[in-house]
Structure 1
């Protein structure tokens, strides 16, 4: 089980909605200032994932919690997102090079276009499949432990006393 820190965003009866920001591995290497990926990760904010689950513990909005996510689903989703478009790209290039290009007679341009279109088709399929896995993962999120109140709220409460 993988763990993540999350903030309680909403509470409705015994259903808790938490949000955790997607972490990037950028900003951890020595070439982050000259790397294109590192520069883009500084400009674009991370995606916030929302999870809803049932709990009997009393939580308040803004509280930090640790949640558990099933590894199997996350690894399946990552494999689908990366491998399906790549597989479709290779299959499209092979089919075009072996069958379509000799018939049309244009050459490499046909292979490039067919490979790009098949890769896009793989992306659409991967997005659909990963969305299904994400819905299954949402049903398996569990609360591991409650970490406490955010630091800014604690300081303002102590200052008011």
Structure 2
């Protein structure tokens, strides 16, 4: 199980328990790497900044807004999600190239082969987006509350 720290943003009561809305900062390991200034990923992460993710979960535990909690997500869900998002467009790109090569192999068909590959890749991106939306909803339901860490500390 992968774990992350999240901040409780809102709590509402329902029949199933407390519906807890969470905000979690995406962190990259680039800030700890020795080659962050010369690495392309480090430069991009510095330019883009930290991204905040929002989730909701249902729990029986009492929490209040502002508290830090530890949440868990099964690795299987993350691997499935990453596989869909990264592999489907690449496979579709290759299939489009092979399809274009078989259909337009004679003569000056190189442009058509490239167009076929990019159209299939675009279809793969669309398909990956649709599948990932469904998978995201399922993964949000798999998020579990591991422990409540406490209230944030104000330094100032």
TM-score by length of 2: 0.89
Deviation of 1:101 after TM superposition, in Å, equals 4.1
Give the superposed CA RMSD: 1.6
Give 5+ residue unaligned stretches, structure 1: 157-161
Alignment of 1:88 with 2:95, yes or no, is: no
**Cα distance in 2, alignment partners of residues 110 and 101 from structure 1:** 9
Q: Name whichever of 132-141 and 81-90 sits farther off.
A: 132-141
The answer to whether the 8 A contact 2:104-2:110 is kept is no
**Cα distance in 2, alignment partners of residues 151 and 43 from structure 1:** 28
Rate the CA distance shift 1:97–1:27 in 2: closer, same or farther, 3 A.
Answer: farther
Alignment of 1:75 with 2:67, yes or no, is: no
The alignment partner of 1:67 has SS state of strand
TM-score by length of 1: 0.86
**Cα distance in 2, alignment partners of residues 34 and 18 from structure 1:** 34
The answer to whether the 8 A contact 1:18-1:52 is kept is yes
1:125 aligned residue (124, 127, 130): 127
Number of aligned residue pairs: give it.
Answer: 152
**Cα distance in 2, alignment partners of residues 48 and 93 from structure 1:** 37
The alignment partner of 2:7 has SS state of strand
**Cα distance in 2, alignment partners of residues 9 and 47 from structure 1:** 16
Deviation of 1:123 after TM superposition, in Å, equals 0.8
Equivalence for 1:159: none
2:112 aligned residue (105, 110, 124): 110
The alignment partner of 2:66 has SS state of coil
Deviation of 1:72 after TM superposition, in Å, equals 1.4
The answer to whether the 8 A contact 2:6-2:71 is kept is yes
Deviation of 1:30 after TM superposition, in Å, equals 3.0
**Cα distance in 2, alignment partners of residues 101 and 90 from structure 1:** 15
**Cα distance in 1, alignment partners of residues 104 and 148 from structure 2:** 59
**Cα distance in 2, alignment partners of residues 47 and 129 from structure 1:** 22
The answer to whether the 8 A contact 1:18-1:50 is kept is yes
